[in-house]
């Protein structure tokens, strides 16, 4: 009961102290959408499956990624892109093209029945478990998160470009607007909210599938058992976690 | 910018690869640190291995090394996207990153080796100058001597012993300084042009070659400007060491080349094509023929055929200049060459070097001239030659 | 003590200078290293949260079928059951958050289908693809195919 000014101040102070943690709790729940369980990094280990036999080169993924992640449209920077391979029998190397990364799809360039095989290969950051880009970063601005995504700390990156040199897959670039490095971060802001990545969401054929290797119910386990899959450049032992089904030996 | 890039690309490159990441400034950096390491190693020949003939160049070599080492971080600062964050490399160094650890090697070498050795060698001179000079110069020398006036026989003897010890530590430190730069490239498994265990050793020996050539030319230039006679046995000896170092360097590079050609792994066809086309002028002509074979031949010729002093001096100048050009070309071919081909081994791009931009040719030229300006100041403050010493 | 230090005072002063440098470095490190650095690994712990801050632009098909039940029923039974809504309708998170405000994008039925179904030698052989000139040139695709269930008749 408030009897004088001193008591008032004491009571008000206690209320303030008590409401602060309550407010903090509410804020934490609210920003994470109250009906969704909180995301625990220890329960997940992310990867992706790319099924080359299903990719139709529509470019939906490239456009969706640029929309979702604000990737610069000009000049040529991509968090994900699609390559088209044209492999003639007995040729020394394949013909590869990726017009604007596949942003506008692929116009027909080859004639049917020319004796070659052609196919599309989507590319993205392989979220390596032993990532060479993380190894060479001088300050710790890129790192492997506990749940298996390779992320960038844009407030800490110096823009030295060593990681861009060290990535064997060419998936990193310097964003000219921030002068720091940027790359596919597996739509980390989506997957930690129970959504799938923008590229997987917009892929019409299911050629791209986000997988959670730590989830026993994830279809990835059965997929890996029943299909012959590869990672890109396995000889470099990067621990890549993007698994390609139907990957031809000519793919670079 | 995209239009220009697309026209510059031949074959297929991953979309993010078309633009080069590391510019001429990153070519400058190993060139400059190489000069430092090489100049220091030449200086230490006298101190540790008692090669008396090169003594006249001892102090000049150290001052040159310091002038270049002070400039070395500048191209890196200009290149960084956020130079204001560069202190992070010292505050939170990632120990698995060669680049981060190099920051400490640089700091160690600058302070504990180079500055300390110069200070110990010059201490007597600085004390004498502190006594004899007046005004702000007196204050300068008193600060440089840390306010200590003692130049007794015993203290100088201690200085000499400590200096010798530092030089002994300094030699592996100089090896580490530039070997590490080689490791920064040599450890990148994603890039087959760079990835080779021999890279640190090749960088080190080419550094020694460039450093020796620099000191040779600097010494001859300084003598010419001051009108003092060149110590001929000194330059003869330096030129001989230049030749030895160059022979080792050339053998190492040829070994790497022969190995690549013989093994012909998945990257070979692409790299071979690049060397024969986009890198032909800088690698075959500038680096190998005019920058290595010609100067080695000239220096070897002198060992076999006795020429007059004047002819020898002329050859040393020409060989020295060609050597510096060749070693610069080597850095260019490693840094730029490593980015001209695609990691898909299916395509090539072009390096378009601008002139007056942050990473263009103009700042590169300024950064190469700057050490000479610093050296001029250093030579005024710390005179390197005997006859300029103040009277006791 | 003095006899030992005789003639070495300059070295003592130099050593003190080095020590001061080390102390300065340690102070800088204590003050300038960001909070939370090194907690999970060699990076700033806050960077994990920073990567989660972005607002999604694609809502995901689960959000669409909460409201659009008719389309959902047609879609789930047909050959486009594996195609997400936003694959054709574009990013719709704004629409899902406030259906009354943002107008959802309705693609042009004469051209949207070509994005995937124009014949191309590099597409998988089993994938349904047509040459528009040979296949009812000029006609709207939804004259015969319901966009949400293309193996069934035209949308009613």
| Facing B81 at nearest CB: one of A95, A97, A180 | A180
B355-364: buried (b, 16+ CB within 10 Å) or exposed (e) per residue? eeeebbeebb
| Facing C10 at nearest CB: one of B90, B94, B146 | B146
Which of B3, B14, B186, B346 should we substitute to test contact with A (largest number of A Cβ atoms within 10 Å)?
Answer: B14
Residue with the two structure tokens 């030698």: C121
B26 vs chain C: nearest CA distance in angstroms? Answer: 26
Helix extents (H) in B135-198 = 135-144, 153-186
Name residues whose C-beta falls within 8 Å of residue C49's C-beta, 6 or more positions apart in sequence: none
Name residues whose C-beta falls within 8 Å of residue A48's C-beta, 6 or more positions apart in sequence: A124, A127, A186, A197, A200, A208, A209, A210, A211, A241, A242, A243
**Local structure of residue B224 (DSSP, 8 states):** H
CATH of the domain at B54: 1.20.1630
- 3-class SS of residue B118: helix
A41 vs chain B: nearest CA distance in angstroms? Answer: 23
**Residue C156: Cβ-neighbour burial (10 angstroms; 0-12, 13-18, 19+):** exposed
User: What range defines the domain where residue B202 resides?
Assistant: 25-250+354-388
Q: Which residue has the higher pLDDT, A43 or A75?
A: A43
Q: How far is the C-alpha of B59 from the C-alpha of B388, rounded, in Å?
A: 13
Name residues whose C-beta falls within 8 Å of residue A81's C-beta, 6 or more positions apart in sequence: A62, A98, A101, A102, A122, A123, A124, B14, B15
Which of C47, C116, C119 should we substitute to test contact with A (largest number of A Cβ atoms within 10 Å)?
Answer: C47
The closest alpha carbon to A157, from B273, B210, B86, belongs to B86
User: Which residues of chain A neighbour C53 with C-beta distances below 8 Å?
Assistant: 189
User: Which residues of chain B neighbour A236 with C-beta distances below 8 Å?
Assistant: 189-190
Instruction: State in Å, rounded, how far the first CA of chain B is from the last one.
Output: 65
**Residue B370: Cβ-neighbour burial (10 angstroms; 0-12, 13-18, 19+):** middle
Residue with the two structure tokens 């093209």: A97
Looking at the domain assignment, is residue B2 inside a domain? no
Q: How far is the C-alpha of B18 from the C-alpha of B35, rounded, in Å?
A: 31
Query: Computed over its alpha carbons, how large is the radius of gyration of chain B?
Result: 22
CA–CA distances in Å: residue B183 to residues A143, B76, B102, B332: 22, 17, 10, 16
Say if the Cβ atoms of B21 and A164 lie within 8 Å: yes
The Cβ-side half-sphere exposure at A21, using a 13 Å CA radius, reads 3
| Facing B148 at nearest CB: one of C13, C18, C29 | C13
- Total domain count, chain B: 1
User: Which residues of chain C neighbour A69 with C-beta distances below 8 Å?
Assistant: 54
Q: How far is the C-alpha of B61 from the C-alpha of B41, rounded, in Å?
A: 9
Task: Report strand pairing: A116-124 vs A142-144.
Answer: unpaired
B337 vs chain A: nearest CA distance in angstroms? Answer: 13
Residue with the two structure tokens 């302070």: B111
Same domain, C100 and C114: no
Looking at the domain assignment, is residue C155 inside a domain? no
A3-17, A37-51, C29-43, C137-151: segment of lowest average pLDDT:
A3-17
- Residues A214-226: pLDDT tens digits? 999 999 999 999 9
Task: Report strand pairing: A242-245 vs A46-51.
Answer: parallel
Which of B117, B146, B151, B162 should we substitute to test contact with C (largest number of C Cβ atoms within 10 Å)?
Answer: B146
Instruction: State in Å, rounded, how far the first CA of chain A is from the last one.
Output: 77
Looking at the domain assignment, is residue B11 inside a domain? no
Q: How far is the C-alpha of C14 from the C-alpha of C21, rounded, in Å?
A: 11
Residue with the two structure tokens 């992320």: A151
Say if the Cβ atoms of C9 and B112 lie within 8 Å: no
| Facing A151 at nearest CB: one of C47, C56, C116 | C47
CA–CA distances in Å: residue A99 to residues A35, A78, A108, A210, B15: 43, 12, 12, 25, 9
Q: Identify the closest residue of chain C to B152 by CA–CA distance.
A: C7
Q: How far is the C-alpha of B279 from the C-alpha of C75, rounded, in Å?
A: 57
Enclosing H/E stretch for A173: strand A173-175
Which of C121, C128, C150 should we substitute to test contact with A (largest number of A Cβ atoms within 10 Å)?
Answer: C121
Tell whether the model's pLDDT for residue C155 goes beyond 80.
no
C31 vs chain B: nearest CA distance in angstroms? Answer: 10
Tell whether the model's pLDDT for residue A207 goes beyond 50.
yes
Which residues 173-202 of B are in CB contact (within 8 Å) with A?
Answer: 184, 187-191
Note the pLDDT of residue B51.
Answer: 84
Say if the Cβ atoms of A153 and C61 lie within 8 Å: no
Q: Identify the closest residue of chain A to B195 by CA–CA distance.
A: A166
Chain B with chain C: Cβ pairs closer than 8 A: 41
Q: Are A79 and A183 in contact (CB under 8 A)?
A: yes
Residues of chain C with pLDDT > 70: what percent?
97
Q: How far is the C-alpha of A116 from the C-alpha of A100, rounded, in Å?
A: 23
Note the pLDDT of residue C138.
Answer: 75
Q: How many residues are there in chain B?
A: 392
Q: Identify the closest residue of chain A to B76 by CA–CA distance.
A: A160
**Local structure of residue C130 (DSSP, 8 states):** B
Which residues 141-170 of A are in CB contact (within 8 Å) with B?
Answer: 141, 156-162, 164-170
User: Which residues of chain C neighbour A32 with C-beta distances below 8 Å?
Assistant: none
Say if the Cβ atoms of A188 and C91 lie within 8 Å: no
Say if the Cβ atoms of C56 and A60 lie within 8 Å: no
Residue B228: asked if its preceding bond is cis (omega within 30°), the reply is no
C24 vs chain B: nearest CA distance in angstroms? Answer: 12
Note the pLDDT of residue A30.
Answer: 41
CA–CA distances in Å: residue B47 to residues B53, B108, B166: 11, 20, 10
Name residues whose C-beta falls within 8 Å of residue A6's C-beta, 6 or more positions apart in sequence: none
User: Which residues of chain B neighbour A154 with C-beta distances below 8 Å?
Assistant: none
Looking at the domain assignment, is residue C86 inside a domain? yes
The sign of the torsion formed by the CA atoms of C96, C99, C105, C110 equals positive
Say if the Cβ atoms of C14 and B116 lie within 8 Å: yes
A31 vs chain B: nearest CA distance in angstroms? Answer: 31
C153 vs chain B: nearest CA distance in angstroms? Answer: 42
User: Which residues of chain B neighbour C14 with C-beta distances below 8 Å?
Assistant: 116, 119, 146
Same domain, C45 and C9: yes
Using the Cβ of B93 and the Cβ atoms of chain A, whether some distance falls under 8 Å is answered with yes
A82-86, A142-146, C90-94: segment of lowest average pLDDT:
C90-94
User: Which residues of chain C neighbour B158 with C-beta distances below 8 Å?
Assistant: 7-8, 11
Enclosing H/E stretch for A242: strand A242-245
Tell whether the model's pLDDT for residue A36 goes beyond 60.
no
User: Which residues of chain B neighbour A167 with C-beta distances below 8 Å?
Assistant: 190
Q: How far is the C-alpha of B253 from the C-alpha of A124, rounded, in Å?
A: 36
Tell whether the model's pLDDT for residue A130 goes beyond 60.
yes
Which of A53, A60, A247 should we substitute to test contact with C (largest number of C Cβ atoms within 10 Å)?
Answer: A60
Using the Cβ of C4 and the Cβ atoms of chain B, whether some distance falls under 8 Å is answered with no
User: What range defines the domain where residue C16 resides?
Assistant: 2-50
Looking at the domain assignment, is residue B311 inside a domain? no
- Residues C66-101: pLDDT tens digits? 999 988 988 888 899 999 999 999 999 999 998 887
Task: Report strand pairing: A208-212 vs A80-88.
Answer: unpaired
Residue with the two structure tokens 């014949």: C119
Task: Report strand pairing: B347-348 vs B10-11.
Answer: antiparallel
| Spans in chain B with pLDDT lower than 70 | 1-7, 386-392
Say if the Cβ atoms of A123 and B345 lie within 8 Å: no
Q: Identify the closest residue of chain B to A103 by CA–CA distance.
A: B15
C4 vs chain A: nearest CA distance in angstroms? Answer: 44
- Total domain count, chain C: 3
Q: How far is the C-alpha of B98 from the C-alpha of B95, rounded, in Å?
A: 8
Q: Are A120 and A84 in contact (CB under 8 A)?
A: yes
Domain A43-129+184-245, CATH class in plain words: alpha beta
Average pLDDT over residues C52-59: 95
Largest Cα span, chain C: 107
pTM of the model: 0.90
Helices and strands in chain C, H and E counts = 8, 0
């Amino acid at each position: 009961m408030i009897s004088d000014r001193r008591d008032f101040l004491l009571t008000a102070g206690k209320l303030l102290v008590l409401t602060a943690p309550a407010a903090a709790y509410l804020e934490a729940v609210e920003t994470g959408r109250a009906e969704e369980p909180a995301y625990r990094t220890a329960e997940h280990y992310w990867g992706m499956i790319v099924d080359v036999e299903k990719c139709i080169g529509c470019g939906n993924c490239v456009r969706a990624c640029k929309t979702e992640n604000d990737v610069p449209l000009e000049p040529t920077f991509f968090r994900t892109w699609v390559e088209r391979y044209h492999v003639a029998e007995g040729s020394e190397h394949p013909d590869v093209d990726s017009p604007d990364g596949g942003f506008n799809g692929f116009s027909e360039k080859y004639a049917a029945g020319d004796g070659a095989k052609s196919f599309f290969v989507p590319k993205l950051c392989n979220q390596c478990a032993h990532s060479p880009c993380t190894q060479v970063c001088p300050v710790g601005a890129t790192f492997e998160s506990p749940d298996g995504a390779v992320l960038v700390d844009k407030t800490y990156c110096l823009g030295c470009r060593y990681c861009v040199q060290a990535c064997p897959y060419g998936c990193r670039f310097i964003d000219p607007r921030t002068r720091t490095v940027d790359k596919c971060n597996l739509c980390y802001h989506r997957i930690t909210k129970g959504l799938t990545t923008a590229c997987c969401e917009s892929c019409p054929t299911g050629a791209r599938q986000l997988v959670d290797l730590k989830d026993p119910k994830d279809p990835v386990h059965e997929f890996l058992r029943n299909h012959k899959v590869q990672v890109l450049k396995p000889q470099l032992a990067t621990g890549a976690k993007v698994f390609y089904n139907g990957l031809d030996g000519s793919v670079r | 910018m995209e239009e220009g890039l697309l026209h510059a690309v031949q074959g297929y490159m991953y979309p993010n690869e078309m633009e080069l990441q590391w510019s001429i400034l990153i070519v400058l950096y190993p060139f400059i640190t190489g000069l430092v390491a090489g100049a220091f190693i030449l200086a230490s020949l006298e101190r540790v291995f008692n090669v008396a003939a090169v003594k006249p160049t001892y102090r000049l070599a150290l001052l040159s090394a310091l002038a270049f080492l002070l400039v070395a971080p500048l191209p890196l600062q200009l290149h960084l996207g956020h130079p204001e964050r560069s202190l992070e490399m010292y505050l939170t160094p990632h120990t698995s990153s060669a680049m981060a650890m190099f920051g400490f090697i640089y700091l160690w070498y600058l302070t504990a080796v180079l500055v300390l050795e110069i200070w110990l060698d010059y201490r007597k001179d600085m004390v004498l100058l502190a006594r004899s000079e007046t005004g702000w110069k007196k204050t300068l020398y008193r600060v440089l001597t840390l306010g200590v006036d003692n130049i007794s026989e015993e203290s100088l003897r201690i200085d000499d012993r400590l200096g010798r010890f530092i030089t002994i530590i300094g030699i592996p430190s100089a090896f580490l300084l530039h070997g590490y730069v080689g490791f920064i490239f040599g450890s990148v498994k994603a890039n087959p042009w760079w990835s080779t265990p021999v890279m640190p050793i090749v960088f080190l020996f080419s550094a020694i070659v460039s450093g020796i050539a620099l000191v040779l030319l600097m010494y001859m230039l300084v003598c010419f400007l001051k009108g003092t006679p060149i110590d001929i046995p000194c330059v003869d000896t330096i030129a001989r060491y230049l030749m030895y170092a160059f022979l080792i360097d050339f053998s190492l590079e040829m070994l790497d080349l022969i190995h690549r050609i013989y093994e012909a792994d998945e990257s070979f066809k692409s790299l071979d094509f690049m060397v024969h086309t986009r890198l032909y002028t800088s690698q075959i002509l500038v680096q190998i023929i005019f920058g290595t074979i010609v100067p080695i031949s000239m220096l070897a010729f002198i060992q076999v055929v006795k020429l007059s002093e004047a002819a020898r001096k002329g050859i040393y100048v020409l060989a020295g200049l060609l050597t510096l050009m060749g070693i610069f070309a080597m850095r260019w071919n490693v840094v730029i060459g490593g980015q001209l081909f695609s990691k898909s081994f299916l395509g090539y791009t072009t390096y378009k070097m601008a002139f007056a931009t942050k990473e263009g040719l103009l700042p590169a030229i300024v950064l190469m001239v700057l050490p000479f300006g610093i050296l001029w100041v250093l030579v005024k403050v710390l005179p390197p030659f005997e006859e300029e010493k103040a009277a006791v | 003590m003095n006899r030992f230090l005789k003639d070495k005072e300059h070295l003592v002063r130099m050593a003190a200078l080095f020590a001061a440098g080390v102390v300065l470095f340690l102070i800088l490190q204590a003050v300038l290293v960001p909070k939370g650095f090194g907690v999970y690994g060699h990076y700033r712990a806050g960077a994990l949260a920073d990567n989660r801050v972005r607002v999604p632009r694609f809502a995901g098909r689960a959000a669409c079928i909460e409201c659009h039940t008719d389309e959902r029923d047609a879609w789930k039974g047909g050959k486009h059951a594996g195609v997400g809504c936003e694959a054709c309708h574009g990013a719709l998170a704004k629409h899902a958050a406030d259906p009354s405000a943002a107008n959802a994008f309705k693609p042009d039925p004469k051209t949207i289908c070509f994005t995937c179904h124009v014949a191309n030698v590099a597409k998988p052989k089993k994938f349904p693809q047509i040459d528009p000139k040979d296949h009812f040139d000029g006609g709207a695709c939804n004259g015969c195919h319901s966009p949400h269930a293309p193996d069934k008749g035209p949308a009613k």
